[in-house]
Structure 1
């Protein structure tokens, strides 16, 4: 662990500051959108636009890196993030925010890909697992820190938008100053055809699409739900923070368990637990303690399911196909992430704040039902080669993070 910190501390520090900026703008726009009297549909389009940009960058950023190099891409996209964060309060119009969110999603994905490729090159086969774990903890830690910064500032003011801009600007200094003269050669794995992925693991493909919508709803619409449910800013901060704290804490126990039992049974159980808790949040009185518990349970089940589905898909693939399959699954997840805020926004217009939990309950219970059905129709599906090992991977992963994961388990 100390060896990983010594070789990659600057990059991890930069990523921590970047994630504070991203976590701030995610929750902040939901709260500020309410103050600016945006409709639920307008806010949901703004939130969805981030994942459109993210999805495009996962395809285009590697081309940019190969053309002009890591350092230039890192610097250019970082400047774009800083400028966009200042733009939000200057032009509080839904269509401007939607375009800005798409652009900032593109920039963040490109920055992640650049940073992760450096991390991949800096790690060895012996410490790649530790590096990935530290990277995941840093990402979650940055998002959690961001929520508390929101609670200490005036959401209706201008300063709260300057803070993430400053942090993002500062985040590039340690990474760029620690970069070597020759940055690593950038390569990406071509994803498997969707037809091949579906044939190998229908459950992983369906699960990734459904989980994409759950993750994006949590990331983009939690603050909107909290406002509509009458929560204070401090209570919304607790709700979002608990989502990510539980996600981080649950990864390793669930990973340990997934290497010892039928993964489909675990997928079914986690989906049913998350969906059932969200359903209870609809039916029971909306007490604060139960809302916080629901956020923690949903976060602690949905985020580990992401890595669990990748591990499950890898059980039915040849080793040389695993990295390509992960990239394909991330693309499917991105499509679901685009749909999530739009569907949640529509449902909140129909039935109020509880529409947030309704969509999460329906999606996670649908995944549980599909996992049960797959266990019925294919009870003895043979594993290809040896059973793969669960490896934690962030829910907002890029193809490079997937490649780091596959190198670790290889």
Structure 2
């Protein structure tokens, strides 16, 4: 185990520090936006700006890396992101925040591409699964830990934004000073959406809808907490519960994924999400019901992403997986851009608890469509499915492609072992 991580420990430490800074900034937007009296619709536009930048970064960072080099792009993106974070309290206008969020989203996506390229280059076929899992855990722990750091300052001042900027700045030191060679970044051209849909309607539609859910949870959760009058520490706990649920439910859902018809599991997970949102909606602000709703609604979101990726790969050849990964990441990004806009409009029109209404309706749509697809296609035998690997919705096409390749190799090895026994 030590040998597996000896070459990537600096990268994992750096990722935790980056996610501490980025996780702080996500919640700070809702907290400071409430103090500045931004409306839910304005903060929704600000949130969507991040995902516009994120989608653009995933597309153009590989091009930049090929032009000027891996290390230069990595360092430049880190510098711009740090500058963007520290600029939020200086420019407290919705239009300025939208532009800054677009910048931060672009930089963060590019950082993911660079970091995941490094990780994938350091991995072998035998260690890739463990490395990707450790990378995803490091990301999630960073986001959860970031919520605890919010108690160290006041969102109404510049202190916490400065802290987030410092964390991002120092995160690059262990990575850039390590001796790991800079890899060549190769990302397959995304598969056309029509072809992707024809190959896996449920995977394509499900990923799009899940994009709206994830962006709403991560971007509008703090806005919701602010508008219903939660304290800063309660809002931080609420956001932390969204990601803590994902950390704890990933393994059992992943295990079940390799044992049964994945459409049934997608349906069940979406129903749990719908039930959780119903609890959040009807309890009207009870603290612990809200935390429980956040735990389970957030808890099924990340596993659903990996589950939908694995289900889509079940219908693809190994040669098609890289292009399909890019198409799915793009589809998810489109949903992530639209989700906060729809939620912000609903919260502005109906009230803050429309947050749960929109989330619940989207979970319900995934469940309904999974149920419908069960009547249109026979299940793939469990022995012929690809292996499941927990991939976070924030992963770039590099990690999604690597996870797909690992899943295909793992499944093929298991089939060969079964044939020989």
Provide the TM-score with structure 1 as the length reference.
0.97
Structural RMSD (CA)? 1.3
What's the counterpart of residue 197 of structure 2?
198
What per-residue deviation string (whole Å, max 9, x for no partner) do you get for residues 49-77 of structure 1? Answer: 00000001111110000111110000111
What's the counterpart of residue 279 of structure 2?
280
What's the counterpart of residue 393 of structure 1?
391
Structure 1 residues 147 and 382: CA distance shift in structure 2, 3 A: closer
Q: 2:131 is paired with a residue of what secondary structure?
A: helix
Output aligned runs, 1:209-248, within 5 Å.
Answer: 209-248=208-247
Q: Contact 2:261 / 2:379 at 8 angstroms: preserved in 1?
A: no
Q: Contact 1:61 / 1:110 at 8 angstroms: preserved in 2?
A: yes
What per-residue deviation string (whole Å, max 9, x for no partner) do you get for residues 337-362 of structure 1? Answer: 00111111111111211110000000
Output aligned runs, 1:11-410, within 5 Å.
Answer: 11-180=11-180, 182-378=181-377, 380-382=378-380, 386-409=384-407, 410=409
Structure 1 unaligned regions, length at least 5: none
Structure 1 residues 391 and 307: CA distance shift in structure 2, 3 A: same
May I ask how many residue pairs the two structures share in their alignment? 408
CA distance in 2, matches of 1:382, 1:276: 28
Q: Contact 1:318 / 1:384 at 8 angstroms: preserved in 2?
A: no
What per-residue deviation string (whole Å, max 9, x for no partner) do you get for residues 283-335 of structure 1? Answer: 23431110000000101111100000000001111111112211111110000
Q: Which moved more, 1:395-404 or 1:19-28?
A: 395-404
Q: 2:177 is paired with a residue of what secondary structure?
A: helix
Q: 1:339 is paired with a residue of what secondary structure?
A: helix
CA distance in 2, matches of 1:214, 1:320: 30
Q: Contact 2:313 / 2:404 at 8 angstroms: preserved in 1?
A: no
Q: Contact 1:314 / 1:322 at 8 angstroms: preserved in 2?
A: yes
Q: 1:7 is paired with a residue of what secondary structure?
A: coil
Q: Contact 2:15 / 2:138 at 8 angstroms: preserved in 1?
A: yes
Deviation at 1:39, TM superposition (A): 1.4
Structure 1 residues 255 and 384: CA distance shift in structure 2, 3 A: closer
Provide the TM-score with structure 2 as the length reference.
0.95
What per-residue deviation string (whole Å, max 9, x for no partner) do you get for residues 15-41 of structure 1? Answer: 110001110110001110110111111
Q: Contact 1:50 / 1:101 at 8 angstroms: preserved in 2?
A: yes
CA distance in 2, matches of 1:17, 1:156: 23
What's the counterpart of residue 414 of structure 2?
none
Q: Contact 2:260 / 2:382 at 8 angstroms: preserved in 1?
A: no
Q: Contact 2:206 / 2:308 at 8 angstroms: preserved in 1?
A: yes
CA distance in 2, matches of 1:61, 1:42: 28
CA distance in 2, matches of 1:208, 1:74: 28
Q: Which moved more, 1:102-111 or 1:226-235?
A: 226-235
